[in-house]
Chains A and B, each alone.
Chain A
Amino acid sequence: MEILIFTDSAAVKSVFDPLTKKKNISAEIYPVSGLKNTVSKKSSDIYVYYDISSLDEKSRKNGISFLAKLPNIRYSIIDPKNSITDTAAEFFLGCSDYLGKNVFKEKITLKRIEESLKYKPFNILEDSGSNDKTVKIKKPEYAKFSGNSWENIKTGTEYAFAFLYFEFTNISKLTKQMGAAEVAELLGFFHNYLEKSIQKYQGKIWIWTNTGGIVLFPFDGKNTKAIESALELYFNQPLLKFDDYSKNLDLKLVIHSGNTTYNKRGDTGTIVSDAINSIYHIGQKFASCNCIYATESYCQLLPESLREFFKLEGEFEGNNILSLRKK
């Protein structure tokens, strides 16, 4: 691991100087203004010390926000003036160590760095298949939970739901092979199958187009109905062919949780929802078929036994995306 110290302060440089001279460690000092350029060119295996003492509040927030968004690095904040009042918030964002006024009086030792490397910010998730592939996640901010059933859900009110995005990826190909009328019949069959399949998980087809849609599940912040339903669809998908159709629909499946105003099916055109927007983008631009994708915030609800099968695929528009697939 390479350690990069970004500081313009002579005092700070003197503190880190002994570290840069050690033979068994790679540490270099850079000017604060070079943060973005330097870090962007480095590999993921770096540890950044970022001195904010020379920065105004806007530049400081900008720099920290830049570091917090990078998926595969660790960083610590050097704050000799104690200008950050809420240090806990920095740890929440993903900071690994905070060198304030008191700590700064002492020399920064290798031991201190090693200790901070051992500390794993709670919002960093390690990819089960690779130890160095880590990213930071957003903590979801849920509106009122929609609960465990549809009983108390009212139209026009914003709730937290779990969403299952589905998209048929081979409609054009099938239309060429079978003709539009046959494809329409096939979609009708799938609609009925989906409706029946999601029923036991209290799912409702909320948005339906001829290329896919969204299933809505009541969500209490804990329940896992959406993933259970997605697993059943995913595993049983090859068996759909038994129902008189010689062609099958290739499906993309994505699960996410978030807020939306609830309107009845067919009356969803005017809804503005970051969560719906996100799941559509993940489905359309990130996901591929024959696999289940889930955002990390949702994956954290999964039992440990199942979580081990979800692999980190990467970050997309601020969401970490994990996937489960058959061999």
Chain B
Amino acid sequence: MQKIKIKEKTITLITNALNESFDLRIMSSIAQDFFPNYDINSRMNYPPNIPVPARDAAYKIASDIKKSDLIPQFVSQLIKIQYHGIMGRTYNVAYLRQIIKDLYDAGLIYDKEHEIFIEDSEVQITKNWGVLKNGEEKIFTFIRLDMVSNTKIVRDNKKELVEKTYSDIRKIVQTIVEDANGRIWDWEGDGGLCTFLFGNKNQAAVSCALKILHQLFIYNHFRCRLNDFVKIRIAVDTGLCEYSDRGEDIKKNDTIRKLVEIESKHTKPDSVTISRFIYSDLDQRIAKEFTQIDVNASNKLYNYRIELEK
């Protein structure tokens, strides 16, 4: 995972911001949001009864935050304090404008809805949007895609042709998903997992799923050189998940397991199935494109396919 490079100048600015805006007690409290039980005296080998000079404490906190790759999150916290205050008091955080500008220059943009910095996808694209840490739990929206009859495709066609086709399809998916600030978390040749976290993530995921299906229709009719059309099953759902760099960890998550079930058991080839949570979040005009599937009384799913008049 590529790290966002934060310049030393920004660390100096953060040090100055802490030093000039907060007393030692508030500084420690902000640091404890990131490192529970953070004790500035013990971090700096000062006896408990000797106060650490504020400037030195500020520098130590900024350095520890940098070492842990938490600068974007820390600055997000400073922005929250600027607007909402801390411990019942409002503060004017010094140098905040310059610090934010430095982060923009480093390729980060501020997502107001989630109050965090994420990578600017024009600058770089990483699985964690440049900010998520392993183990960080968020409500994500997922797209699961699977090409139908992979074994038959592989058996009936030349290897190079299959590889080229799968690579074309991955490119189609990647272009559509990343254009909507989604990320491909996992890809295994004949399908994968895409994730959305920011903005209207449910609508974005459905929009991407439909666009992928449409683009595959065009690909099949005009570009596909396999013996038969490539058919795909797509499912969309949302739920809690811990971020992990390792694909294996993510597969164990309950939301993902449920998603795989929707895709494999309730989605016909060449169609998109979405959960009722996703459906309820859709704009009415998009929602009406879907047909309800009654799985059981408590579990309603909705399906979309391209149906043309013949």
Q: Which A residues have a C-beta under 8 Å from some C-beta of B?
A: 128-129, 224, 228, 231-232, 235-236, 238-239, 241-242, 248, 303, 305-306, 308-309, 311, 324-327
How far in angstroms is the closest Cβ of chain B from A288? 14
Does B38 reach chain A (CB closer than 8 Å)? no
Instruction: Please indicate the chain B residues that have their CB under 8 angstroms from the CB of A129 in the complex.
Output: 310
Question: Is B306's CB under 8 angstroms from A241's CB?
Answer: no
Instruction: Please indicate the chain B residues that have their CB under 8 angstroms from the CB of A235 in the complex.
Output: 210, 214, 217, 306
Instruction: Please indicate the chain B residues that have their CB under 8 angstroms from the CB of A242 in the complex.
Output: 200, 203-204, 207, 283, 286
Nearest 5 CB-CB pairings of A with B: A235-B214, A327-B307, A309-B308, A306-B221, A239-B207
How far in angstroms is the closest Cβ of chain B from A289? 15
Q: A239-B286, A242-B203, A303-B221 are in contact. Are A311 and B309 (CB under 8 A)?
A: yes
Question: Is A238's CB under 8 angstroms from B286's CB?
Answer: yes
Instruction: Please indicate the chain B residues that have their CB under 8 angstroms from the CB of A305 in the complex.
Output: 220-221, 229
Instruction: Please indicate the chain A residues that have their CB under 8 angstroms from the CB of B217 in the complex.
Output: 231, 235
Q: A309-B309, A325-B309, A326-B309 are in contact. Are A241 and B211 (CB under 8 A)?
A: no
How far in angstroms is the closest Cβ of chain A from B141? 13
Question: Which residue of the partner chain, among B220, B289, B309, B310, contacts A238 with CB atoms under 8 Å?
Answer: B289
Instruction: Please indicate the chain A residues that have their CB under 8 angstroms from the CB of B283 in the complex.
Output: 241-242
Question: Is B308's CB under 8 angstroms from A231's CB?
Answer: no
Instruction: Please indicate the chain A residues that have their CB under 8 angstroms from the CB of B307 in the complex.
Output: 326-327
Question: Is A239's CB under 8 angstroms from B210's CB?
Answer: yes
Does B112 reach chain A (CB closer than 8 Å)? no
Instruction: Please indicate the chain A residues that have their CB under 8 angstroms from the CB of B229 in the complex.
Output: 305
Question: Is B308's CB under 8 angstroms from A248's CB?
Answer: no
Give the docked Cα–Cα distance between A224 and B221 (Å): 11
Instruction: Please indicate the chain A residues that have their CB under 8 angstroms from the CB of B211 in the complex.
Output: 236, 239
Question: Is B308's CB under 8 angstroms from A326's CB?
Answer: yes
Give the docked Cα–Cα distance between A36 and B203 (Å): 60
How far in angstroms is the closest Cβ of chain A from B297? 29
Instruction: Please indicate the chain B residues that have their CB under 8 angstroms from the CB of A309 in the complex.
Output: 308-310
Q: List 22 A-B residue pairs with CB atoms under 8 Å apart, sorted by A's residue number.
A: A228-B218, A232-B214, A232-B218, A235-B217, A236-B210, A238-B285, A238-B289, A239-B207, A239-B210, A239-B211, A239-B286, A241-B286, A242-B200, A242-B207, A303-B222, A306-B221, A309-B309, A311-B309, A311-B310, A325-B309, A326-B308, A327-B309
Interface residues of B in 216-231 (CB under 8 A from A): 217-218, 220-222, 229
Q: A232-B215, A242-B204, A305-B221 are in contact. Are A325 and B308 (CB under 8 A)?
A: yes
How far in angstroms is the closest Cβ of chain B from A196? 9
- Give 1 or 0 for each of B282-305: 1 = CB within 8 Å of chain A CB: 010110010000000000000000
Give the docked Cα–Cα distance between A224 and B219 (Å): 12
Give the docked Cα–Cα distance between A129 and B310 (Å): 7
Question: Is A326's CB under 8 angstroms from B306's CB?
Answer: yes
Q: A235-B306, A242-B207, A308-B310 are in contact. Are A248 and B285 (CB under 8 A)?
A: yes
Give the docked Cα–Cα distance between A232 and B172 (Å): 13
Q: Which residue of B lies closest to A291 (CB)?
A: B309
Question: Is A324's CB under 8 angstroms from B207's CB?
Answer: no
Interface centre among B203, B210, B218 (most CB of A within 10 A): B218
How far in angstroms is the closest Cβ of chain A from B269? 16
Q: Which residue of B lies closest to A244 (CB)?
A: B200
Give the docked Cα–Cα distance between A326 and B285 (Å): 15
- Give 1 or 0 for each of B221-246: 1 = CB within 8 Å of chain A CB: 11000000100000000000000000
How far in angstroms is the closest Cβ of chain B from A194? 15
Give the docked Cα–Cα distance between A115 and B221 (Å): 36
Given A232-B215, A242-B286, 20 additional A-B pairs, CB 8 A: A228-B222, A231-B214, A232-B214, A235-B210, A235-B214, A235-B217, A236-B211, A238-B289, A241-B283, A241-B285, A241-B286, A242-B204, A242-B207, A248-B285, A303-B221, A309-B308, A324-B308, A325-B308, A325-B309, A326-B306
How far in angstroms is the closest Cβ of chain A from B169? 15
How far in angstroms is the closest Cβ of chain B from A320? 18
Give the docked Cα–Cα distance between A231 and B219 (Å): 11
Instruction: Please indicate the chain A residues that have their CB under 8 angstroms from the CB of B210 in the complex.
Output: 235-236, 239
How far in angstroms is the closest Cβ of chain B from A85? 43
Q: Which residue of B lies closest to A303 (CB)?
A: B221
How far in angstroms is the closest Cβ of chain A from B289? 6
Instruction: Please indicate the chain A residues that have their CB under 8 angstroms from the CB of B286 in the complex.
Output: 238-239, 241-242
Give the docked Cα–Cα distance between A326 and B220 (Å): 18
Interface centre among A235, A303, A305, A309 (most CB of B within 10 A): A235
Give the docked Cα–Cα distance between A259 and B217 (Å): 30
Question: Is A224's CB under 8 angstroms from B222's CB?
Answer: yes
Q: Which residue of A lies closest to B288 (CB)?
A: A238
Question: Is B310's CB under 8 angstroms from A128's CB?
Answer: yes
How far in angstroms is the closest Cβ of chain B from A84? 41
Interface residues of B in 170-221 (CB under 8 A from A): 200, 203-204, 207, 210-211, 214-215, 217-218, 220-221
Give the docked Cα–Cα distance between A326 and B213 (Å): 14
Q: Which residue of B lies closest to A196 (CB)?
A: B179
Give the docked Cα–Cα distance between A308 and B285 (Å): 28
How far in angstroms is the closest Cβ of chain A from B157? 17
- Give 1 or 0 for each of B19-55: 1 = CB within 8 Å of chain A CB: 0000000000000000000000000000000000000
Instruction: Please indicate the chain A residues that have their CB under 8 angstroms from the CB of B221 in the complex.
Output: 303, 305-306
Instruction: Please indicate the chain A residues that have their CB under 8 angstroms from the CB of B289 in the complex.
Output: 238
Interface residues of B in 271-290 (CB under 8 A from A): 283, 285-286, 289
Interface centre among B204, B214, B229, B308 (most CB of A within 10 A): B308
Give the docked Cα–Cα distance between A224 and B218 (Å): 11
Give the docked Cα–Cα distance between A311 and B200 (Å): 38
Give the docked Cα–Cα distance between A303 and B229 (Å): 13
